[in-house]
Amino acid sequence: MAKRQHKPVCTRHELHEASYLTRKICFKNQPVSAIIFAFEDNAYAYINHCMHMHRPLNCEQDAIFDDTGKYLRCSMHGFIFDPKTGECQSPVCFGQRLQALRLEEIDGTLYFAEKHLTLID
Q: Which member of 6, 12, 55, 97 binds ligand FES (CB under 6 A)?
A: 55
88 touching ligand FES, by CB under 6 A: no
Distance (Å, whole) CA 69 – CA 103 = 21
76 touching ligand FES, by CB under 6 A: yes
Span from 23-31, 33-41, 60-68, 74-82 in contact with ligand FES (CB under 6 A): 74-82
Q: Tell me the backbone φ, ψ of residue 8, rounded to 5 degrees.
A: -65, 145
Contacting residues for 7 by C-beta, under 8 A, at least 6 apart: 111, 119
What does the DSSP 8-state code read for residue 94? T
Interface positions with ligand FES (CB under 6 A): 50, 52-53, 55, 74, 76-77, 79
